[in-house]
Structure 1
Amino acid sequence: MAEPTQRVNVVPFPLRPRVFILTDITNEPDDAQSFCRYLTYSNQFQTEGVVACTSIWLKDKVAPENLFQILDGYEPVVDNLNAHAHPQFPYPSADYMRSIIKRGPPVYGMEAVGDDIPLSEGGNLLLQSMTAPSDEPLWVLVWGGTNVLAQVLNKIRHRPDAAALRSKLRVYTISDQDDSGAWIRHQWPDIFYICSVHGWNQYGMSAWVGISGAVDQGGPDPSKVAKEWLKEHIQVGPLGAQYPDLEYIMEGDTPTFLYLIQNGLSVPERPSYGSWGGRYVPLNVSDKGIPKGHYADTVDTVTGLDGQIYRSNKATIWRWRNAFQEDFAARMQWTLTNDFTKANHHPVVAVNGDIGITPFNMDADAGSTITIDASETYDPDGDKISFKWFQYIEPSAEQTYHPPEVSKLQIKTINESGSKVEVTIPGPELSCILFREKKQIERGLLLHLILEVTDSGSPPLTSYRRILIQPVNNNLK
């Protein structure tokens, strides 16, 4: 049977990132909320494990039964979700997801780690994923404590391939929620590890609270994380019935996988590029400027809802809040119907005729003006689409990690729809220079131009394309 034309017109993904989740579910409602959302994006990932673990808030028990309960709400909607997905990227079955739910050790932190302590059920599954014959990174998303990861790293520490196994790890943890996270980073500073660093339990200082916390008041839109909005748009249908009411903030763990969402914005191997899951810079670099290991909070400068300028680590996430909340609301509508025409779907972005979601790279002479054309962009539902182009300044700052080193693009819309722009690259004295030394170089900092395309459907959906412009100094070629 031929696939409906509309489904084929939905953009496919380049790959499915391998994902392994550790969750202290039942410590408060937000883990259950995050798991509900994760399931609506699960066709984007190769989920290899979901392990119920402990944390400072859930020290002596684990609760996999809550994960199974949520899957009871997911099972009746899988077919509906698949009706809105690209046919090459179907959602996993509820039975598959049940098969990878395991228990971590029901003890706090480092009590689970030792040469004479056997691996937990969840630890064995993680070890299996880490040693699988795959060249793809394994993303360990930590919503609670990290002792499952710590016990596996301790288990393999004397293996001759231990360093190679660690090199495939990509960890994104929601702060430190037990005493094993700091131990991991101290023992193995080579591990790619995204984590906000602050005083113990001072979560208000972290980037991830930008998803829904009452931060930078006047900046983010609070309405789309309010209980009334969630009740109307998220707590609908069988899966929505599993989405619990708020207790503290909504979905504090969700930035771990928002970071990986394949929407044309995310570049997971480059935390400093920024995405729905926030933006992070290396805590340490080599003497040659090469990032090493741990990535921690940084700041974005963003115009808020009130028109004022905000500069904070939380802004690296809340700047995208309207888009990622509307996106979730649309997916919850997918769970309610198998009729493609009864729901909204994402615009498909084309830049200079190239359709896709990976960054679009181009060289440009310093001081020149180039034309970038997105007029072949389309919406699978036939909705009207709007175009917004802007320079994302902060990701370019890779010399001193401060925005003043970044030269500014001039962006001019040249057609009525806004799909085509002229972009002027600053001259070599600004765009191809070592900032501190004031020395011209042949190739300057990559300049990040973001194309944001939003449709007129309900709820409105946004897709992106990151255009990476490499300024070239012809005087030094």
Structure 2
Amino acid sequence: MKPVPRVIVTTDPELDDLNSMLRLLLYSNEIDIAALVYSASKFHYSGDPANGLAPYRWPAPGEKLHIDVAVDAYAEVYDNLVRHDSRYPHPAELRELVKVGNVKNVGDTSEATPGSDLVRDVLLADAPGQVFAQAWGGTNTIARALMSIEEEFSGTDRWEEIYALITDRTVITAFAEQDDTFADYIRPNWPDLEFRDVATVAWGYFAHSVVSERDKEYLSPQWMRANVSDVGPMGAEYRVWGDGKHMADGFDEGDYFGLTDPKKDELEAAGYVVWCPIQPAGAWLSEGDSSTFALHIDNGLRNWEHPSFGGWGGRQEPHPDDAHRWRSVGDTGLGLEGPLVDRGEVAQWFGAYQRDLAARLRWSVTPAYADANHAPRVEVQSALDRSVRAGETVELAFAATDPDGDDVRIRAYVDENASTSHAQIELGSAGATATVPADATTGSVVHVIVEATDSGEPMLTGYARFVLTVE
């Protein structure tokens, strides 16, 4: 059995972090969640009254924070979810993983916290496979955990062993750099640690600008209400435009999302900075951090195996200035000065991922397995990775199965984004054939995607990714 990715989540209280957290918990059957930790960023910190530092865009004292909101909603529907997949973790298990990390100030690493200690323990734990440390806000709590490890082991006879353990197994995935701790501490002191910047436009506040015309349906108030907002306790907590909610205590000049169909000039007159185009009440708002864990979902795209593969979590390319860093393909990160196109290659998957979310929300309110739709699987019957010769035709054997007995439509094609060569694909009764061009160069690769979409409601898709390397 292939290992399940272990995931650490550090997150600040941005409204899209709540939405991403709700989605993450709906996929917690696919992912080994090891920590859920509150952290700071340059956009949100709790402040330090004892030292005269006021909070910045932080929820009011005593208000339930977003991880707890999401876990509480999950607890309400757990009995239904577990009937659709027994791997869903019990709410009590998730609650044990919720800790407060370094939240006082942007880039705060001044002291170890319950959250940073949990991150440290996960990074050091005796467990197989990779650990993905996700920064939905700043990297400061992750940095503090690494500092604690360095403080404990640096200068001892175990330091080389511990350094190798951490750098060999740990991948930091982040939506850009939301503080300076990666640049100032992590990279200078852990130069071999892998960092993947997975920022994409398509999952954020500007999704309306980049998804296809066909897929804009999945952002509309009508679709969001029918498939998300009105679907049980988890859907009810999901933030949409004009929902009357807010992020922080007091006035927040950048948070006008809860207001119902406001006018730009009225907002500006009230002191708001209108940085994001206004959408109709009930419309998609943002889920910016969903790309950090979408790559771990076991849908067959193998997105987490290598950053260049691509999938629901986007695709990354090597950074020209850092041998251990990857960046979303052409993405502008947090800067919006460039053209708003989907530079993370995510928009092509947007509809499938949204329909999959809709199906899982329906699981949350549907006690009988037979009364909901479940994604088909592509069962691969030949090697996923193989060496081929230029001009060769190879068999790609697979079969699509659907757990609900739905009809399944098969499509097989070359993923041009991940490939450096091409192939002619033909579907057959037992799979497909791929014919590599006679002039394909040695070392070039062809990624063949098999896509199986069922006839259920909503239509769901499973995949397989074959990687052919020309020898």
Q: Same fold (TM over 0.5)?
A: yes
Counterpart residue type for residue 244 of structure 1: R
Q: What is the aligned partner in structure 1 of residue 261 from structure 2? A: none
SS at match of 1:171: strand
Q: What is the aligned partner in structure 2 of residue 386 from structure 1? A: 409
Distance, in Å, in 2 between the alignment partners of 1:162 and 1:138 is 14
Asked if the contact 1:220/1:319 (under 8 Å) is kept, the reply is: no
Counterpart residue type for residue 189 of structure 1: P
Asked if the contact 2:211/2:342 (under 8 Å) is kept, the reply is: no
Q: What is the aligned partner in structure 1 of residue 174 from structure 2? A: 173
Distance, in Å, in 1 between the alignment partners of 2:171 and 2:360 is 27
Distance, in Å, in 1 between the alignment partners of 2:128 and 2:84 is 30
Asked if the contact 1:185/1:294 (under 8 Å) is kept, the reply is: no
Q: What is the aligned partner in structure 1 of residue 267 from structure 2? A: none
The answer to whether residue 223 in structure 2 is matched with residue 232 in structure 1 is no
Q: What is the aligned partner in structure 1 of residue 81 from structure 2? A: 81
Q: How does 1:365-404 map to 2 (within 5 A)?
A: 365-374=389-398, 376-396=399-419
Asked if the contact 2:303/2:313 (under 8 Å) is kept, the reply is: no
SS at match of 1:109: coil
Shift of 1:130: 1.1
The answer to whether residue 297 in structure 2 is matched with residue 261 in structure 1 is yes
Q: In the comparison of the two structures, how many residue pairs are matched?
A: 398
Asked if the contact 1:210/1:314 (under 8 Å) is kept, the reply is: no
Superposed CA offset, 1:384-430 (max 9, x none): 1101111112323xxxxxxxxx3321123345xxx643321111xx2
Distance, in Å, in 2 between the alignment partners of 1:194 and 1:215 is 24
Q: What is the aligned partner in structure 2 of residue 135 from structure 1? A: 128
The answer to whether residue 412 in structure 2 is matched with residue 363 in structure 1 is no
SS at match of 1:292: strand
Q: State the superposition RMSD in angstroms.
A: 2.5
Distance, in Å, in 1 between the alignment partners of 2:377 and 2:67 is 33
Counterpart residue type for residue 10 of structure 2: L
Counterpart residue type for residue 364 of structure 2: T
Q: What is the aligned partner in structure 1 of residue 456 from structure 2? A: 457
Q: Match for 1:422 among 430, 433, 437? A: 433
Q: What is the aligned partner in structure 1 of residue 323 from structure 2? A: 292
Counterpart residue type for residue 166 of structure 2: L
**Equivalent pairs: percent with the same residue?**
29
Q: How does 1:217-366 map to 2 (within 5 A)?
A: 218=212, 221-235=215-229, 236-246=231-241, 247=257, 249-284=285-320, 292-299=323-330, 314=343, 316-351=345-380, 353=381, 360-366=384-390
Asked if the contact 2:174/2:196 (under 8 Å) is kept, the reply is: yes
SS at match of 1:272: coil
Q: What is the aligned partner in structure 1 of residue 163 from structure 2? A: 162
The answer to whether residue 67 in structure 2 is matched with residue 67 in structure 1 is yes
Distance, in Å, in 2 between the alignment partners of 1:265 and 1:121 is 35
Distance, in Å, in 2 between the alignment partners of 1:93 and 1:414 is 43
State which drifts further: 31-40 or 162-171: 162-171
Distance, in Å, in 1 between the alignment partners of 2:180 and 2:105 is 8
SS at match of 1:349: strand
Counterpart residue type for residue 366 of structure 1: A
Asked if the contact 2:200/2:291 (under 8 Å) is kept, the reply is: no
Shift of 1:228: 3.1
CA 1:447–1:98: 2 relative to 1, 3 Å = same
Distance, in Å, in 1 between the alignment partners of 2:237 and 2:387 is 49
The answer to whether residue 91 in structure 2 is matched with residue 105 in structure 1 is no
Q: Match for 1:193 among 167, 192, 195? A: 195
Shift of 1:54: 1.2
Q: Match for 2:39 among 53, 59, 80? A: 53
Distance, in Å, in 1 between the alignment partners of 2:441 and 2:212 is 37
What's the TM-score, normalizing by structure 1? 0.77
Counterpart residue type for residue 225 of structure 1: L
Distance, in Å, in 2 between the alignment partners of 1:218 and 1:34 is 21
Distance, in Å, in 1 between the alignment partners of 2:464 and 2:194 is 25
Distance, in Å, in 2 between the alignment partners of 1:371 and 1:162 is 43
Q: How does 1:146-157 map to 2 (within 5 A)?
A: 146-157=139-150
CA 1:134–1:421: 2 relative to 1, 3 Å = closer
The answer to whether residue 444 in structure 2 is matched with residue 409 in structure 1 is no
Distance, in Å, in 2 between the alignment partners of 1:337 and 1:217 is 30
Counterpart residue type for residue 169 of structure 2: K
SS at match of 1:166: helix
Distance, in Å, in 1 between the alignment partners of 2:400 and 2:168 is 38
Shift of 1:129: 0.8
Asked if the contact 1:33/1:244 (under 8 Å) is kept, the reply is: yes
Shift of 1:148: 0.3
Counterpart residue type for residue 362 of structure 1: R
Counterpart residue type for residue 283 of structure 1: H
CA 1:166–1:423: 2 relative to 1, 3 Å = closer
CA 1:145–1:311: 2 relative to 1, 3 Å = closer
SS at match of 1:149: helix
Asked if the contact 2:377/2:400 (under 8 Å) is kept, the reply is: yes
Asked if the contact 1:327/1:461 (under 8 Å) is kept, the reply is: yes
Counterpart residue type for residue 173 of structure 2: Y
SS at match of 1:43: coil
Q: Which runs of 5+ in 2 are unaligned?
A: 48-57, 154-158, 242-256, 258-275, 277-284, 332-338
Superposed CA offset, 1:214-245 (max 9, x none): 33465672221233322210121122122122
